[in-house]
Amino acid sequence: MVKNLLPYKCVVLLSDDIYNGIYSSAWYRRFGLYMTFIVVNVDEYEDLLSPYETTQAALSTAKNEGCQMYIFLVSNGLQVARLLRFGDRYRVINTRAKFVILYDNRLFEKNLFYLWKRIINVIFIRRYGGQKSGDDKNMPWFEITTVPFPSQITSILVPRRLDIWTKSKFRKGADLFRDKTFDLRNQTFKVAAFGHIPGTTKNMKVKSFRAVLGNFSGVETEILQTVATAMNFKCEVYEPVNADAELWGGKQTTGKYTGLIAEMVSTRADIALGDLYYTPYILERMDLSVPYNTECLTFLTRESSTDNSWKTLILPFKPTMWAAVLICLAISGSVFCALARFHETISRIKTEKSRNLDLYNKKKKIITLSMCPELEKLDPNVKYTMMKEQYNPPRFEGQAMGLYQFSQPFNSMLYTYSMLLLVSLPKLPTGWSLRMLTGWYWLYCLLLVVAYRASMTAILARPTPRVTIDTLQELVNSRLKCGGWGDINREFFKASLDPTTKLIGENFEV
C-alpha cells in the first residue's frame, strides 16, 4: 500500500478515534519530506453532512492544493456516506481524485448510487478474520473491492473484487486504480443541451450534413459525437424545461437552480453542452472537460459616445452667450413696447383739441340729398362715397395707420423675436424714436446671425471625434450600463480580484 502512495504529492487522511493510531510518526517518516498530508480527525458524534468548520476548512484546503488521494479510515460507514454527499453537494471534495475507504454495506444504498458514477477511482478495504495457521494464530486478510463502473448499476450495487492482501503482499498484484473510462461498454448518458450558436444549434426540421445528435448540431455536438465513438458510449440528448428563457440558468432566491446548471446540480444529466467557461462560478457546481477553444470576450458599445448631433442648433453659442441673447431679447421687447406706448400717449395729447374742432366743423357741412337736388342725378355709388366721407373721422399728421406693431406686449415680443430671425416687419413703426431703435436693433440682429452661422459652419465642417473603449477602466469611466446573458457572466466579474472588473460585476445587468 505504501507503494501506491509514493506518486502523490498531497494526501488527505481522515480517521476517527479507532483508526487514528495507525498514523504514527514512523508511518509519516516512510514518505520523507516530499509528500504533504492533511490530517482530519472526526468525532464519532459529528454529523458529516454538516461538519465542523475545521473539517470544512481542511477539505477546502485539500481541494485548493490539488490533493490526489483521500484515505477515509472511519468505522461508521454512515458518517462516510454523509461526508461524501456533503462534499459532492458543495464541491469541497475532488471527485476525480483517488479514494481509499473502509468497506461498509451502508455505502451501497440506492440513494448513493449517483455518487459511484462520479467517484469511480475508489477502493474499499474489507477485513476478514482468516483461519489459524500452524502457530495457532489467526491470519487476517483484506479484500480490495471497487465499484463496478462502467457496468450499469440497477437495483443492487455489488462491489467488484480487485485483489486480496494477505501475508503483507497482494495475491494478484492488480492495478488498483486503473483507467475505467477507456471503454464505457456502450452505456447511455443523458446529455442536456439547448441552442446557443456556434456551440449547439437546434434543428427542428432541416438537418444539415454536419454531425447531428437528436435535434442538435454544431461544434460541441461534433466533439461529443467523436468522444462517444472513442470511449464507446451512447448519448440521450434532451432540452431542459423552459430552456429558451432560462438558457444557462442561475440560482434563485429559494436556493434552487434553473436552466442548464439545474440539470447538472440535480444530477438529472450526466453531460451538459453549454459552451461553459473556466470560471469559479461554474467550477463550484460541476466538473469541466479539457478546454477545446480559447475565446476573447468583449463588450459591444456604441460607435461614438460623443454623438451630439441633436445639439447642433445650440452648439454655436455657449450657455452664457445664449443667456445674454435671451436677456437682450426680453429687454428689447420691453423697450419697444414702452416707446410705442409713450409715442401713442404724446400723439393723443397733441391732436385731441384739433380733432374735436375739425369734427364740429365737419358736422356743419353735412349735406343731405333733399337739400341738394343736383345730387339726385349722380350714380348711387358716388352718392354713398360722398356720404361716407362726411362721417369718417379725419386723420391727423403723425397718427399711426394700420397695425401698430409694438403697442401690445405680446406683439412687441413677437416682432422683436421675428427681427432676430431676420424676418422683416409688415410696416415700419411711426415715430422717429421707434425707427431709430429698430435700425440699431436690426444691426445687432445681423451681427448676431452672422456670428451664429459662422460658428455653425465651423461645427458642421469638423467631423465628430470617434471615441473607443479599449480597456475595462475606460468602460467604467464612461458610466455606460453593462449587461449580458445569465448570472454566469455577472458572477465572472464579481468573483474577480481586480477592483475595476469587480466594479463592473456590481453594476452588471442580466
Give the model confidence (pLDDT) of 371-400 as tens digits.
Answer: 555 555 666 766 666 666 555 555 544 455
To the question of domain 2-170 being in CATH 3.40.50.2300, the answer is yes
Number of other residues whose CB lies within 10 A of the CB of residue 176: 17
What average pLDDT does this structure show over 139-159? 86
Burial class for 247, CB neighbours closer than 10 Å (0-12, 13-18, 19+) = buried
Q: Which of 76, 66, 120 is nearest to 102 (CA)?
A: 76
Q: Is the dihedral of CA 188, 192, 197, 202 positive or negative?
A: positive
Task: Tally Cβ neighbours within 10 Å of residue 428.
Answer: 12
pTM of this structure: 0.63
pLDDT at 402: 35
Query: Residue 200: what pLDDT?
Result: 84
In this prediction, residue 423 carries a pLDDT of: 85
Higher pLDDT pick, 133 / 171: 171
Least confident of 15-24, 105-114, 307-316: 307-316
> Tens digit of pLDDT for each residue in 271-293?
999 888 888 888 888 888 888 88
Cα–Cα–Cα angle for 96, 102, 104, nearest 5°? Answer: 105
Task: Give 195-253 pLDDT, tens digit per residue.
Answer: 888 788 887 654 444 445 667 888 888 889 999 999 999 888 888 888 888 888 888 88
What are the helix (H) ranges across 266-318?
280-283
| pLDDT computed for residue 374 by the predictor | 57
pLDDT in tens, 250-266: 888 887 888 888 888 88
Mean pLDDT of the chain: 80
Which residues lie below 8 Å from residue 405, measured CB to CB, with a gap of 6+? 340, 411, 412, 415, 425, 426, 427, 429
Q: What's the mean pLDDT in 113-132?
A: 85
Return the pLDDT at 377: 61
Q: Work out the average pLDDT over 46-53.
A: 90
Helices 432-461 and 409-420: crossing angle in degrees, nearest 10, is 40
CA distance 274 to 412: 72
Task: Give the pLDDT confidence score for residue 367 in this predicted structure.
Answer: 47
Per-residue pLDDT, 123: 92
Domain spans, the chain: 2-170, 187-283, 319-446
| CATH number assigned to the domain covering 187-283 | 3.40.190.10
Over residues 157-174, the pLDDT tens digits come to: 888 998 898 887 888 888
